[in-house]
Structure 1
Amino acid sequence: MYQSLLALVIEFLGCKTPQAWIQVACKQENLPLILIDHCNCELKAAQTALFMVRKYGVDDCSGEQLLAWARPYEEFVYHNDRDMQAFLARDLSKGELKGTLRVKSGIIWGDDLISKMLRLVKEEFHHFEQVLEIMQARGIVYQNLHAGRYAKSMMQHVRTHEPLTLIDRLIVGAFIEARSCERFAALAPHMDPELEKFYVSLLRSEARHYQDYLALARQVAGESIDERVAYWRELEARLICDPDPEFRFHSGVPA
């Protein structure tokens, strides 16, 4: 039912996840690592989108509101005295985004950036909590886990002059979201029924996220970005297909 959607994602990416990664990911002993890193990826995706809005879309006061929105999630992840049950049982109304965000003047694509990125943030926060609920039900304790090379390696190639920096960040965001979508589809058939259903449920939102990032990149550029997309496609494919010393949700072929 999602094959047509997935075909567009794979065409955009240029390569599928290697079978060697899937074989390692499907081992039962690696499930805790997959879920913890997936959880981290959802938070990082939300943080990236919030950074975009704070830096490019809203004034400083609105930026503080966004930081407050993310604080409960970041405190859970970054504090060692975390309590998963208390976090999941908290009063969600207290953590909602409050007040009206003020768009920076003179930015014609500001409203579009804010609307697309805030929708993404809400969905990623929700996915973060869904993964935690699955972990809690299975007795998997959240642990600190340092990031792999994937996103960091791509960010090292982002251009350093605006608006090229923003354009590259948006394209990188598109590739990360598209790869997440493709990985969920690759994992789903090999998981137990609960996880298979969960991963399939994520495909549509992840596919829309990459399309939103790409649309914003084109809007900011005001011209074709095909050449730059091709550059990132080649770089991202190398990170996915080359040997990788660490196994993570977005890692390459296990070395």
Structure 2
Amino acid sequence: MLLFREKVSADWLPMVKANLPAILVDHAHLERKAATSALNLEKYRDLYDRVDELNAIAIEELQHFQLVLNLLKKRGIPFSQPYPSPWITGLMRAVRNGNRYQAIDHLVSFALIEGRSCEKFQFLAEGLRSIDVELADFYGGLVESEGNHYATYLLMAKAIDEEETDRRLDFYLDLDAKLIRQPNSIPMLH
């Protein structure tokens, strides 16, 4: 697993526990966006031979979206508007122009998003166990998938240009550390 350079804030899990309905709505939007992101990667020439893998990720993300929508319905939580994540916005603003550079940057960014999801879902699986077994099990069941998506995106980037990917991963790990230290009072996964 990825060695992040900054830990998740100690106040993140208590904020999540206190705002589970908002977190579930945010999670639904993140799964929808993850599906769209996988499909959008198919526009890059360097990824034309990976379309089947990207479709499989998109389908899995849409299945996760539906699972979260089902949880919302079951719990009587209305699906509402998304709030932009400062952390994800910060990662996306660093994506460079140019087909190959853009593809690598998107892949590295998406790898980090999936890696943070894997990490946070592990926290939720453990941290929610005493208050909401259903959600703890749900998040525990998503950990492996997020880890696989992280690895897949990183391997795709390295297949395009390993040296450039390593350089950009170093850049993005520094950026992630900077962004994750910024306070965010809106309850969200990222």
Structure 2 length as normaliser, TM-score?
A: 0.92
Match of 2:152 in 1: 212
Distance 1:217 1:32 in 2: 35
Q: How many residues align?
A: 187
Please show how residues 89-104 of structure 1 align to structure 2 within 5 Å.
none
Match of 1:169 in 2: 106
Match of 1:127 in 2: 64
Match of 2:123 in 1: 186
Gaps of 5+ in 2: none
Structure 1 length as normaliser, TM-score?
A: 0.70
Q: Which has the larger radius of gyration?
A: 1
1:19 CA displacement = 1.3
Please show how residues 9-48 of structure 1 align to structure 2 within 5 Å.
9=2, 11=3, 13-27=4-18, 30-48=19-37
**TM-superposition CA deviations, 1:157-200 (whole Å, max 9, x none):** 11112311111111001000001111111112222110111101
Q: Give the root-mean-square deviation of aligned CA atoms.
A: 1.5
Distance 2:170 2:163 in 1: 15
1:245 CA displacement = 4.3
Distance 1:40 1:110 in 2: 27
Match of 1:51 in 2: 40
Q: Secondary structure of 2:11's match?
A: helix
More helix, by proportion = 2
Read off the aligned partner of 1:208 and give its amino acid letter.
N
Q: After the TM superposition, list the runs of 4 or more consecutive aligned residues in structure 1 that deviate by more than 6 angstroms.
A: none
1:242 CA displacement = 1.9
Gaps of 5+ in 1: 1-7, 58-106, 251-255
Read off the aligned partner of 1:47 and give its amino acid letter.
T
